[in-house]
Amino acid sequence: MINPEFKRNLWLQFSLHRLIAMPAVLGLVFFTLSMAGSNFPRGIALDSIALILFGGIVCLWGTRNASSAVIDEIRDKTWDQQRMSALDPWTMTWGKLFGATAFNWYGGIICLVVLAITSIASGHTIMLSSSLTLVALGILMHATTIALNLHLMRSNIRAVQRGGIAWAVVLVAIIFTPPFKSEVETYLQWWGTSYANGSFLLASTAFLAALAVFATWRSMNSALQISTVPWAWPLGCCLLAAYIAGFADGQGLLWTGLLLAMAMTYGALFTEENDIALWQRIVARARAGNWHGLLRSLPIWPTTLVLSFCFALLLLVNHDQIPPFKLPADFSYSTLLALTLALMLLRDSCVYLFFAFSGKGKRAGATTILYLAIIDGLLPFMAHFMGSEALARFFMPIQFGNAWAMLGIAIVHAVLALALLGWRWRQRALKDDAI
């Protein structure tokens, strides 16, 4: 039986007019360009035109339609009906992923047919590899957009409601996607092995697309309020770290993992629900020894927070691992820097929860960013201006001083943040008991 969500999207995407208009318009474009090619000294490469049209129809327009698959449900207030349906998360995931973009893939397939014919006729075999890469890129962009929208839909972020996530994904894709070349194949090194550039780009895009589809499925579980153990988030972090570190033949793998875990922790921390009621349920299940229930209720950001400490501890015993970024000349590198960064991440997480537990959780993110900017930026600058270097280092321990002093100050920061969070927790608990 066909997926009901996929079938519904097909009815919304296709009409007799659209079925005829897409091939007619594309056929007219290709025919016009092929006729006009004789007027240009070097002619017009139809395979390149087909690639460009595929990118516009599938990667750009399709990403906008993929975003609308979630945004329209929110705007039309029909998401609750979707959530109450009998469809499981995976059925809902691929129904929206390929159903909402079916018309774009309809046009994209026509472009791929033209690309295949013209590439074979002209002998440009690399263009065929590029077409498969664009297919994977389209799936990657569509899945990433849906996953982000599903994750952010409960946070009332205006960029989600206005469809800004789609344009953010398109912008990132334009910045980071390498150019497709039809010239002589080049090679690159990854984990000490040489790979053809076109084949590696295809494999990389397919790998990232698979991760994005998996992330969409996991986000759909959360959106449909189906609790899951948050193992996928740290696993994705480890896989991405291994992929990125491969370009340096594995050098700095632990540092790459640490920095990526920190970035993913911050990203999830500021976009997930972290009200005190959620954490009261988690604490109650911990006291009852219900560890499976605790993990199913846990947000995803604590998993990468713990993972960052794992990477930091591994760096303490792996002295040959150096940061993948250039340090200042007067900075005496120490493996304690990794543990200091993990402690600063713990401090920032506690500061965020401190404001999230205040009863005004919607302002927690902006308030946290403001106070962290004051602590890490304004106060050290004022201390430097006043000539008090010791005070500046206390406010911002990641400086060019003694490594043990840097670690000690970071521990003090983390302990103070934990103490403030404990005080907020007891204050809210007393208020709840009074009610």
Check whether residue 280 and residue 404 sit in a common domain.
yes
Residue 160 reports pLDDT greater than 60: no
Residue 74 reports pLDDT greater than 80: no
Check whether residue 212 and residue 344 sit in a common domain.
no
Spatial contact of 150 and 223, defined as CB atoms under 8 Å apart: yes
Check whether residue 241 and residue 264 sit in a common domain.
yes
Check whether residue 303 and residue 255 sit in a common domain.
yes
Check whether residue 288 and residue 262 sit in a common domain.
yes
**Residue range 13-30: average pLDDT?**
92
Check whether residue 166 and residue 268 sit in a common domain.
no
Check whether residue 213 and residue 317 sit in a common domain.
no
Check whether residue 280 and residue 208 sit in a common domain.
no
Domain that holds residue 132: 1-181+190-221
Of 129 and 381, the one with more pLDDT? 381
Residue 161 reports pLDDT greater than 60: no
Give pLDDT tens digits for 175-228.
Answer: 777 665 545 567 888 988 898 888 898 999 999 999 999 999 999 988 888 888
Spatial contact of 52 and 115, defined as CB atoms under 8 Å apart: no
Check whether residue 297 and residue 392 sit in a common domain.
yes
The pLDDT assigned to 361 comes to 59
The pLDDT assigned to 403 comes to 80
Check whether residue 94 and residue 146 sit in a common domain.
yes
Calculate ∠ Cα 404-407-411, nearest 5°. Answer: 135
The pLDDT assigned to 323 comes to 74
Q: Phi/psi of residue 239, each to 5°? A: -65, -45
The domain tally of the chain equals 2
Residue 400 reports pLDDT greater than 70: no
The pLDDT assigned to 260 comes to 96
Q: 3-state class of 156 per DSSP?
A: coil
Distance from chain centroid for Cα 115:
31
Each as own residue / partner, the long-range contacts of residues 283-288 (CB below 8 Å, 24 or more positions apart, any chain) are none
